[in-house]
Amino acid sequence: MRTMTIAALATMLAGAPALGQGTNPAASGAAPARPANAAPAKPAVTAPARAAAPKAAPASTPESRSAAALALSHEPTFDEGTAQRIKEAALSYSDLAVRGGWPTIPTDAKFVIGVAGPSDDLLRQRLIIGDDLAADKTSGPFDEVVAEAVKRFQVRHGLASTGTVTPRTIAALNVSVQKRIKQLEASLERLESTNFSFGQRYVVVNLPATFAEAVENDTVVRRYRVIVGKTEKPSPTLTAEITGVVLNPTWTVPSSIARSEISAHMRKDPTYLSRMHMEVLDGHDNPIDPHSVDWSGARTPNFTVRQQNGTFNALGAVKIDMPNSYSVYMHDTNQRNLFSDDYRFDSHGCSRVDNVRDLAAWLLSEEMPKWNRAAIDAAILTGQHQEIALPNKVPVAWIYLTAWMTKDQTIQFRNDIYDQDTQLLEATAEEAAFFNQAANHPLTAHLAQ
């Protein structure tokens, strides 16, 4: 029997559960009031107050970024109950759609704390419907309470949690409930075709969210920003096993990159390979003269380009081995500044991991203290290439969820960056139409069973 669609389930169940309350543990409150001083007995002549110099923002580091990411939640994006919770969220949103959904915020609306505006109550209504704001906060100007609710909404939608209603925030607020239901349907459809063996310890990369999670005993113990494939070179969804960690790795350039990008560089600059510490190897890993190679890019390369290990290496200092049919993996990078960006779709398909040394230490925790973080850092400093096999393989899944609900009932949404939701739902609709037609034809009725 084919899986019943969420829309059909929604018509069967009334009174869907309430929407999940978003949380934001990192949200900060207002500064405490300063105690008032007693009035002086006599007027005092004082020098004009000098404005305090603004404090410099703390530098963003791999450790601070991963700590901030983990502080958002310890609930896994993907566990054995994710599919069921997505069904529950979709039913809740379907019930909300029947009741009219939520209001639209004018795109030119302005919200300033303490200043009344014409769209203030509309924003409150929108946040209340999404369970980001308490139900009794229905009216009043934009204030700190509403700003905190905006932060909760922003966290749930992968936006910077500033509490400021930016154009991107308004755009996310105005996505219709019908589209959110379709995101939940597509995410559920995709999960139901995923075969993953959850272990006590496993790793998940959710591509649309650009985050990786290390899960242990059903709790996220590490979370990292990741850079995944560009829209024109999307990272694949897959399940595999992490088998080892490579320190100071070399990089064997994929033939597609050698044919297009490397060849183009060599046509413009014959010194490119030497400047990038790359060598050309034949089928037996023997070095060959780059000048003897056809760099026209017209044919599939019959050679291998390999970059030596070092600070210039595209894989950085750490590579995580996870054999799979797509030949992708997780690794460090020599462009770590990209992790500070909100938009992190910039790779050729592999997943670059922020603070990857910390992930390597977690993967090798069964080898403590031999391979703790300090030992990993020391080994990298030697510059020596070293391959470390895990005593027990760790399951890893790269998934594509633009909508999900965690165990604390928080519903999350992300942009369909690779347009996979639309493609999947169109294919599913075509399949449904086929089976509907088959059911009405005597020769194909059995196909609809």
Sign of CA dihedral 249, 197, 83, 187: positive
Q: How far apart are CA 209 and CA 224, in angstroms?
A: 11
| Partners of 321 in beta bridges | 244
Hey, which bits of 277-431 come out as E strands? 278-281, 304-307, 318-321, 330-331, 345-347, 351-353, 386-399, 403-405, 411-413
On whether the CB atoms of residues 267 and 295 are closer than 8 A, the answer is yes
Q: How far apart are CA 351 and CA 344, in angstroms?
A: 10
Q: Which residues contact 285 (CB under 8 A, 6 or more apart)?
A: 304
Over 120-169, what HEC string results?
HHHHHHHHHHCCCCCCCCCCCCCCHHHHHHHHHHHHHCCCCCCCCCCHHH
Q: How far apart are CA 315 and CA 332, in angstroms?
A: 5
User: DSSP class of residue 293?
Assistant: S
Burial of 398 (0-12, 13-18, 19+ CB in 10 A): buried
Q: How far apart are CA 28 and CA 30, in angstroms?
A: 7
SS3 97: helix
**How distant, in Å, are the alpha carbons of 190, 246, 429 from that of 424?**
8, 36, 9
Q: Which of 181, 242, 147, 130 is nearest to 8 (CA)?
A: 181
**How distant, in Å, are the alpha carbons of 1, 278, 303, 304 from that of 255?**
44, 14, 8, 7
Residue 348 annotated to the active site: no
Beta pairing, strands 304-307 & 278-281: antiparallel
Q: How far apart are CA 253 and CA 278, in angstroms?
A: 9
> Looking at 265, 277, 284, 331, which residue is catalytic?
331
> Looking at 350, 385, 441, 446, which residue is catalytic?
350
Q: Hey, what are 209's tokens?
A: 């969210």
Task: Give the end-to-end CA distance of the chain in Å, rounded to a whole number.
Answer: 6
Residues annotated as catalytic are 331, 350
